[in-house]
Every structure is written in structure tokens, then in C-alpha cells.
Structure 1
């Protein structure tokens, strides 16, 4: 029997739990209408699932790049970008093709120009009133900009011998983000609050404060900061790893505080101060999840493993699936079905993610691994030939 999901022995189960939580939060937020009453408090903060994904990406990508540079004093940019390309683009393009070829599956009012999706610039210059379809792609733009800049930044910082200033540089970047959001709020949101135009106020908030990459680096920076500690501060790493459950508890306390600050996503305090506070809270939770002493690290769950594996595919397709299911169930005159549309949509979102994972993600990841192994073998053979050539010259 072919295994659909391969569970590696060195897998960090704590991070699987967090990925599963992140995608569930996002789905609850986007599937908000008709959810059970007891999920309403979670729906209010569901948008932060994206910020949890940012912290996780910052940590995982940052740790990988910093570890490579620490060991080799260089980063193989070709290998890094190739890995990201095969991980992100195939499934993304598959969903994009569906959006542009089947207009009936669009959940929103319209689409930005195709070139913006292909260049990952959809989160700039977006008309949030008329281009609502596939709007979740904005976070992929932020991630792609991070992938582009992160390895180059590491190389430049270490070549300039500024690595000791990295924590301060990261804190400065978070501060710059806060200042930019304050400026954009005052320029593009506050005037419409004063004029009483809620529609333009929401539009300004989304387009100028919430979506642009330069305003949303808090979570990624927190993740990279954790990666820096775990790569270059062994004393700090040992200390933090001893108190994994305390780190989780501290993260939850900060998250509850952030919940109060971000009670309304449309507020100044949520957009300006809430974002770094949420990222900090998730940062402590991530530290707990990667600490061997914590309950999240020790706990194994097949459910969260599957959800973590499918999280990217579900994120790409869940709004399209939701729209399709709502259309299919609209004419069904069944009380049970109509009362449980939310749960039915969740189930079909997972099924949609599974299909995308099996037929697009997994084959391209196999191809990526084969290409990378092939390149490594070629380099090894080339190295041996050069070595033999040198030996022959000196004989």
C-alpha cells in the first residue's frame, strides 16, 4: 500500500501542531458566516493564523540559511531558490489557472491583472473592493519578498561583519514597520474615519496598511530572531529549551493580551501595535514548540501531521472550495445540511487540499529532490575530475 503521507523520524511535531492551528484559524476566519456560536471568539482572532505562518516561515527559512552560512561561510542561492520555486509555485499556478479559467469558481468580485499574480506583487496597488477573488495570495507575496531578500541580507550582514548587531537591526526593522503603519494609517485611513466613510476606511486599511509587504514583516523577523538565537547563542538555546512549557505559557499570556488589543481588526491599535505583539506571542509559542521539554514537542498527532502537510494546499484552495460547496448546497432543502454548511465546507477544504497535494505538490517535490540530487552528483563528479587533473599535473 502506498503511503500518502511520509512521517520523517526527525520531524518537529510541535511545529506540525502550530501549522495545523494556523490553517484552522484562517479557515474559521474566512468561513465566518454561519459558524457555531462557540467559535465566534476564535473567528475574531482567526486572521492571526497568517501571522503564525509568518513566524514559522521566518524561523524555518532563517534557521536553514543561517545554519548553512555558519557551516560553509556561504549560501547556495541556486539551491535555495530552486527549493522554494518547486515548493511554492506549482500548486500556486494550478489554483491560479482554475481561478482564471473557471470564472464561476471565483469567490469574490474580480481578479487583479494576471501579471501581478505571476510577479507576486498582487498585494500592492490592490483594489480591495473590486478584486476580492484569491485575495489570500497577498500573504504569499509577503513570503516571496522575504525569500528574495533573506539570503542576500545574511550574506551582506556577515560580509560586513555586522552579525553582532543583528538583534538590534531586527528590532529596528520592527520599529520601522510600526512607524510605516502609523504614517499609512494617518494618510489613508484616518481621513475616512473622520469623514464617516466606513467603506473607504476599510479599503484604505487593507490596501495601505494590512496587505503591503513592508508593513507585514513583524512575524518573519521574530521567526528569524529565534533562528539566530538557536544557531549562534548556544547558551540562550540551552536555557530556553529547558523551559519549553514556560515559554508556551508566556506566549499564551501575550496572545491573550494581544486578543484584547486586537479586539477589532479595523482599529488603530490592532494594526499598529497589535501586529508585533501577536508576532511576539507566537514567537514564544514557537520556541516552546521546538523545545524538547515542552508538551507540544512531545505530543504526536496524526491529525495535526496531516493538516500541517496539507496546510499550504488548503490555504491556496480553501476559499474557492468554500464558494463551490456553497453553490452546490444552496438548493438542497435539508435542515441538517443547511445547519452544518460550515463543517461540510471544512471537510471539503481538506479534501481539496489533499487533491492538490497528491496531484501537484507531491510530484513536483519529488522532481525537485531528483534534480537536486542530480546536481549534487554532477558537482561531486566534477570535483573528482578536477582533483584527478591536478594530481596528474604534479606527477
Structure 2
């Protein structure tokens, strides 16, 4: 998950949060299939699992870069993009190929055009009603836009030597996000509130576009910046891990009430930053050595965290395939046993994808990075030798 010579220590707390995020997504999405009634009653807030992923990504991607900047080191764009490419693209292309070659894998109506998936523009002007298959990768589009633009912004700030004066950018972007959502609401959504397809319009202009969903990523980046550039503040904060965890739960409870009607004005405009703040506090609690999230180890959450990306890509298609097959054995489609078995099959599918695709390409990535590092060290040695001569 790191992108520079500075690495982020693998923390159990972050594994817990990855597991929480993907489980929220799995249970929330399971409601599109036949499901137990109780799932509707408790998983209305499950859509925020994606926002937790955003906060985690913002923190994990930006913290190593900020640490390098704080120590006077440069950012290697080739290394950054190599790491992101091999982490995401191979598994994504495999699942995308399955979707386009095997229509039985489609969990809903139709697929958007292939070019939208290949260019990561599927989340713009997205018609969820008629092209709902593989819709969940809208969030991957948001993250890919972030991975492309964020390091370029940092390199530009470094080049012009103005990054120490750029602290205003993060709060300005938060405010800009609220402003964009206000515009989208009044100009693109509010005129259609009485229409039957209002929910389609709301999703198209408020839920899916990158420019309305940056709050979680910005929250993660803000935490990383605070920790990298203000070590004294970081030291004070991480001594209070459990207090911060409690505060995060209080903020998320407020967000849950605010977003009870997800398509309402207040949820649309202010819900996303409040959710981002709640999960941001939870990330801080997860990396605080005094907190329970940091100190508690679990092989289960470590495994689920490891499989989280593969699970995210494949779970809908797998559940769509196996639920009818299991129903033929006499298992009640809306029963708890069906839910458990479908989720276990989704985990099995993710495990196969991880072992067959993710793991080999991550090993290839490491070989490429090691080779680049060896070449760099060789060039430095030659330059040192020439200078000495």
C-alpha cells in the first residue's frame, strides 16, 4: 500500500477497519438479492462502508508521500504508479473480462459500455436503472482519479517549492465539495423531486460523481498530513485512542440520523463530510497504540482485509450465481442459512482471485521495484565514483 521508501507499518487496527468496510458493503449489497427481512432493518447505513474505504485509501496513500516530503525527499512518480497499477489493474481486468464474456455473471440488467470501464469514467452520468451490472466499481473510478491527480499535485507543489504554504488546500477542497453538491442539488436534482425516477437522477448527480465524493479521501489525506507534518500533535492524539474511538462512534451516530433519508437535502450536502469525519476519527483510533483497535490482533480480520479488494470486485456476480443453485437444494432463498452460505462462497471466490491473480502480480511488482532500486543504487555508485575521480 505504500508508494515511497517510507513504509506504513502494517497495523492490526487498519485490518479491522478494512474488514468492517467490506463486510458493510457485502451486507448492504446482499439486499439486492433475496434476503432476510432483518437485513433491511439494520443495514441502511451500510453504504458508508465505501466511505470508510475512501478514508483508509486517503490515509495510506498520502502518509508515506508526506513523510518523504517532510524529510526533504522527492516523490517517485514511476514507483507510485507501478505500485498502484499492479495492485489494482490485473484483478480488475480479470473480473471485468468475466463480466463481458459470461452474461450469467451479470447480477442486474446490462453493462455500461466497455470503454467506460477501461477509462474509469463509469461513475459519470451513470444510469443505475438500466446499466446496474458491475455498478459497484464506481468507487474504484473515484479512487483511480485520486491516484492519478494527487501525486501530480504534490510533485507540482514540490517543484515550485510552495508545499509548505499549501495547507489551505485541504479545507478549501472540503468547502468546494459542499459548494459543488449545493449546485448539483439545486440545478440538477431539485427540479426532478416529483418524478418517479428521482432516485436515478440523485444517484447520477450526487452519489456517483468523483467531484461530489471526495470527502472521505480528503479526510484520510488530512490525517496523514497532520501526522507527518505535526509530530507533536500526533503524539498527543495517539495517546487517546479509545477516547477518539468513542468520539468517532458518536459522530457516526449523528451521521446515521442525518442520513436516515439518504436522498434528502441535508444528507446530500452535509452527510458525506460528517461520515468522513466519523471514519477519520476511527482511523486515528486504529493507529493509536493506546487503543483497543491497535492492540487487538485477529487472524480473521487480517484474512478478510487481505481479500477485501477481490471481494469487492467479485461478490455480486458470485452471489448472483450461487444463490439460485443453493435454492435448488431446498435452502430457503430468504433464510439466514442462505445468507451465510452465499457470503462464504463470495469469500471463496475472492480467495481464488487473490491466489490466482493478485498474489502473482504483487510478486511481479516487487521484482520490478527491486530491479529499479538496484539500477538506481548502481547509478548512484557510478556517479559517486566519477565525482571522486
Normalised by the shorter chain, which TM-score bucket?
A: over 0.9
Tell me, yes or no, if the aligned pair for 1:254 and 1:277 is still in contact at 8 Å: yes
Q: Which moved more, 1:310-319 or 1:267-276?
A: 267-276
1:390 deviates by 3.5
Structure 1 equivalent of residue 364 of structure 2: 367
Distance, in Å, in 1 between the alignment partners of 2:86 and 2:67 is: 21
Structure 2 equivalent of residue 281 of structure 1: 278
1:324 deviates by 0.7
* 3-state SS of paired residue (1:198): coil
1:88 deviates by 0.5
1:310 deviates by 0.4
Provide the alpha-carbon RMSD of the alignment: 1.9
Give the 5 Å matches for 1:22-61.
Answer: 22-32=21-31, 33-61=33-61
| 1:238 correspondence with 2:229 | no
| 1:184 correspondence with 2:169 | no
| 1:301 correspondence with 2:298 | yes
Structure 2 equivalent of residue 254 of structure 1: 251
Any idea what the Cα deviations from partners look like across 1:187-228, whole Å, max 9, x if unmatched?
2221221xx2232x1111111111111111000001000000
Structure 2 equivalent of residue 325 of structure 1: 322
Structure 2 equivalent of residue 197 of structure 1: 195
Which structure 1 segments of 5+ residues have no match? 1-7
Tell me, yes or no, if the aligned pair for 2:251 and 2:275 is still in contact at 8 Å: yes
Distance, in Å, in 2 between the alignment partners of 1:123 and 1:9 is: 30
Distance, in Å, in 2 between the alignment partners of 1:336 and 1:216 is: 35
Structure 1 equivalent of residue 71 of structure 2: 71
Q: Which moved more, 1:163-172 or 1:205-214?
A: 163-172
Distance, in Å, in 1 between the alignment partners of 2:100 and 2:34 is: 28
| 1:12 correspondence with 2:7 | no
Structure 2 equivalent of residue 97 of structure 1: 97
Distance, in Å, in 2 between the alignment partners of 1:294 and 1:236 is: 17
Tell me, yes or no, if the aligned pair for 1:329 and 1:338 is still in contact at 8 Å: no
Give the 5 Å matches for 1:35-184.
Answer: 35-184=35-184
Q: 1:44 to 1:338 in 2, by over 3 A?
A: closer
Give the 5 Å matches for 1:187-226.
Answer: 187-193=187-193, 196-199=194-197, 201-226=198-223
1:338 deviates by 5.0
1:136 deviates by 0.7
Any idea what the Cα deviations from partners look like across 1:309-332, whole Å, max 9, x if unmatched?
000000000111111112323433
Tell me, yes or no, if the aligned pair for 2:223 and 2:280 is still in contact at 8 Å: yes
Distance, in Å, in 2 between the alignment partners of 1:39 and 1:337 is: 10
1:386 deviates by 3.0
Structure 1 equivalent of residue 4 of structure 2: none
Distance, in Å, in 1 between the alignment partners of 2:228 and 2:277 is: 19
* 3-state SS of paired residue (1:266): coil
* 3-state SS of paired residue (2:43): helix
* 3-state SS of paired residue (1:128): coil
Q: 1:157 to 1:52 in 2, by over 3 A?
A: same
Q: Which moved more, 1:64-73 or 1:295-304?
A: 64-73
Which structure 2 segments of 5+ residues have no match? 1-6
Q: Which moved more, 1:167-176 or 1:34-43?
A: 34-43
Distance, in Å, in 2 between the alignment partners of 1:280 and 1:239 is: 19
